[in-house]
A and B are shown apart, each in its own frame.
Chain A
Amino acid sequence: MIMVDVSVIIENIDLLWGGLLMTFKLFIVALAGGLPLGIFLGLGRLSSRKWIYYPVSAYVHFIRNVPLLMLIFWIYFSLPILTGGLVEPFYAAVVSFIIFEATYFGEIIRAGYQSVSKGTIQAAYSTGLNYWQMARYILIPIALRRVVPSMITQSIVLFQDTSLAYVIGLHEFVRMASLIDNRVIRPLELYGFVAIVFLVICSIGSQIVKRLETKEGERK
């Protein structure tokens, strides 16, 4: 018979909370770095200057075709061999996430920009709007509406990916649960709790996306 004893969660709630905070810290720092870098990559991929377009495209293709876990290993284990200095797990994780997620954010931004038809932009110009008016009232509003749902979806993926920082010993949420489990051997309760917390947080995000997408659908 399976015995579920939630007291293990209550007794260790401080440790788990600390882990969740670390997960959020990872997520927010990675997002704060990944978004701006993503915007630059996206604009780079739209550039007509070859010396910008090709390096940026090569970077994006390379990173997107490598597993994130691989990237974390490189930065945590291989980089110190090359540079001679140690890399803190937190920084190794954050840098990996930024490098990795920025390529996805960049492609979303590029797609959003390209989804605005050239004809619509010409129509705006044909009425006498100048570049800034066209960008403000036409290009950016249309592109943003199309981009925001995918951006939030990708952020949810990033939030889940933070658990990979476990492998380099960072005390984030999953790692915390595992450490407690080593002591009390209550995997069902601990990992069940972790799963529920992830489920709740990500579901909230998905609901926001769904709302935005129905709103966008009504617009069309």
Chain B
Amino acid sequence: MKEETPIIEIKNLSKWYGDFQVLDDITTTINRGECVVICGPSGSGKSTLLRCINGLEDFQKGDVIVDGVSIKEISHTKEIYKLRSRIGMVFQHFELYPHMTALENVTLAPKKVFKIPEKEAEKRGMELLEKVGLREHAHKKPGELSGGQQQRVGIARALAMNADIIMFDEPTSALDPEMIRDVLEVMVDLAKGGMTMLVVTHEMGFAKAVADKIIFMDEGRIIEQEDVETFFKNPKSDRAKEFIDRILVHI
């Protein structure tokens, strides 16, 4: 059983781009050690929601509380940098630093944010690259790595800060099918290891295997939040039903 200590509380969160409302009154709680999968049609506000949690995007209404800290209060102060270092993020298009090696990608933030000595940061960086199965590629630049390898470097980079939470923004949607598995395996290991994870993905196999909760979003709203079994077997809303049908049967 997972302990029920909330680590992220989202309270009546709303966000607009001009007149267009991207997030509409989002309220949910994520407990420490939980793996939460967020799904829904494109444009439903999933990625934006993640970016509000670590303050990469502003919001107009409501608040996000991360481990007792209000994002609204710190969003334009230096405190936000400290908070971001506690939330790792993995991106759809990897977003590795192209001018640095895999190892440098992983060690930059520990060295510059936490001022960890070079040697120590590199030792830890190598351990993380080993964990994602890329030890022998540590000194290659992103351009010399395949998509799947790049994404695993991205995961190692997110882990390097010893973050409490890791957010994944469609981590496998830009990958070839044969590479998706390598990335998912790393993610499953993390989830089983008790990492708090927020995963925007359409990989329902992953959701069934390790998710504690599924959040289904559409048009900026949370339509359903359920445990995995209930969501797949008895979706309450027609929209979720439609979505599940479409995503499970590709054609």
- A and B physically associate: yes
A binding-site residues for B, Cβ under 8 Å:
117, 119-120, 122-130, 133, 137-138, 141-142, 145, 219-220
Q: Is B11 an interface residue (CB 8 A)?
A: no
The reply to whether B143 and A120 contact each other, CB–CB distance below 8 Å, is: no
Once the chains bind, are A129 and B109 in contact (CB under 8 Å)? yes
User: Is B176 engaged at the interface, CB distance under 8 Å to the other chain?
Assistant: no
> Interface residues of B, CB < 8 Å — how many?
30
Contacts of B109 in A (CB 8 A): 127-129
> Chain B nearest CB: distance from A28 CB in Å?
30
Q: Are B56 and A219 in contact (CB under 8 A)?
A: no
B52 to chain A, nearest CB (A): 13
Least distance between A220 CB and chain B CB atoms (Å)? 4
Please tell me if the beta carbons of B108 and A127 are within 8 angstroms of each other in the complex.
Answer: yes
11 contacts between A and B (CB under 8 A): A117-B93, A119-B95, A123-B95, A123-B97, A124-B97, A126-B54, A127-B157, A142-B97, A142-B99, A220-B98, A220-B143
B81 within 8 A of A: yes
Known: A122-B56, A126-B88. A138 touches B97 (CB 8 A): yes
Do the beta carbons of B98 and A130 come within 8 Å of each other?
no
The 10 closest A-B pairs by CB, nearest first: A128-B85, A127-B109, A123-B95, A220-B143, A126-B89, A119-B95, A128-B113, A128-B84, A120-B95, A130-B81
Contacts of A219 in B (CB 8 A): 98-99, 141, 143
Q: Which residue of B lies closest to A218 (CB)?
A: B141
Task: Let me know if A130 and B78 touch, CB within 8 A.
Answer: yes
CA distance A125 to B108 in the complex (A): 12
Q: What residue in chain A is nearest B51 (Cβ atoms)? A: A122
**Complex-state Cα separation, A61 to B161, whole angstroms:** 46
Q: How far is the CA of A51 from the CA of B157 in the complex (A)?
A: 40
Using CB atoms, name the residue of chain A closest to B92: A119
**Contact residues of B between 81 and 125, Cβ < 8 Å to A:** 81-82, 84-89, 91, 93, 95-99, 108-109, 112-113
Which B residues lie within 8 Å of A123 (CB)?
89, 91, 95-97, 154, 157
Give the chain B neighbours of A142 by CB distance below 8 A.
97-99
Cβ < 8 Å to A, chain B residues 9-49: none
Give CA–CA (A126, B96) in the complex, Å: 12
Alpha-carbon distance A142/B95, docked complex (angstroms): 13
| Complex partner residue of A137 from B87, B108, B141, CB under 8 angstroms | B108
Within the assembled complex, what's the spacing in Å between the Cα atoms of A159 and B113?
A: 44
Are A122 and B91 CB-contacts (below 8 A) given A129-B113, A138-B97?
Answer: yes
Among A119, A127, A145, contact of B85 (Cβ-Cβ < 8 Å): A127
Q: Report the bound CA distance from A120 to B91 in whole Å.
A: 9
When distances are taken between beta carbons in the complex, the residues of chain A under 8 Å from B99 are 141-142, 145, 219
Report which of A120, A125, A145, A220 forms a contact with B84, defined as CB distance below 8 A. Answer: A125
Residues of B within 8 A of A129 (CB): 81, 108-109, 112-113
Q: How far is the CA of A178 from the CA of B56 in the complex (A)?
A: 63
Bound state CA distance, A129 and B99, in angstroms? 17
Nearest chain B residue, comparing its CB with the CB of A144: B99
